[in-house]
Every structure is written in structure tokens, then in C-alpha cells.
């Protein structure tokens, strides 16, 4: 069974998202590759939000944790891992454009 993300990963992801929010609010030239990477990251963030909402809804409406709940949790863990892996590189590319 995969290790569950803990508080530290959650804080790291929140910090990366805040950095991304600050950078994309700035006015700078976008190239197609960077735009595509940003779109992918934003799509994963929306997916993560939907997964978290689904997990919380399932937790609130069930009295017996099910296999479906475990799948929802694993999907969320996978998305978190992807974001924690890809966001630092995207942030660096955005910063490079500003230099």
C-alpha cells in the first residue's frame, strides 16, 4: 500500500500553488510550450480539487468505508504526487522567463 501524503506534502503543495498564482498574475511573454505546461498543471489542480471534493463527499455520506473510498483516496494521492513533481520545474521555467 502506498504511503499516505502527510501534513508536510500538503503544505508543500499549497506553497507551490501560491507561488504559481503569484507568477501567472504577472505580465510576461508566453510561448506555446510554457502555455501547454501551465494548462496541464492547472488541469491537474482542478482534477485534484474535484477528487478532494469527491473524497470528502464520500466520507460525509458513508458509514462504512468502501473500496471506492480507497480508490478515490489513491487517485488524490497520485495527483498530489504528480503536482509535487511537476510544479517546481514549471515554476522555475516561469521565473526564467521573467529574468
CA distance 51 to 76: 6
Q: Model confidence at 9, in pLDDT bands (50, 70, 90)?
A: low
pLDDT > 60? residue 6: no
What residues does each domain of the chain span? 43-99
CB count, 10 Å around CB of 88?
13
* 77 Cβ contact partners less than 8 Å away, ≥ 6 residues apart: 2, 4, 5
Q: How far apart are CA 54 and CA 69, in angstroms?
A: 9
0.95 exceeded by the pTM?
no
Amino acid at each position: 500500500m502506498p504511503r499516505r501524503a502527510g501534513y508536510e506534502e500538503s503544505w508543500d503543495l499549497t506553497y507551490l500553488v501560491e507561488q504559481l498564482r503569484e507568477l501567472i498574475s504577472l505580465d510576461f511573454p508566453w510561448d506555446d510550450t510554457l502555455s501547454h505546461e501551465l494548462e496541464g498543471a492547472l488541469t491537474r489542480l482542478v482534477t485534484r480539487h474535484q477528487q478532494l471534493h469527491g473524497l470528502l463527499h464520500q466520507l460525509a455520506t458513508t458509514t462504512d468505508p468502501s473500496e471506492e473510498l480507497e480508490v478515490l483516496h489513491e487517485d488524490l494521492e497520485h495527483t498530489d504526487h504528480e503536482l509535487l513533481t511537476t510544479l517546481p520545474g514549471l515554476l522555475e521555467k516561469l521565473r526564467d522567463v521573467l529574468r
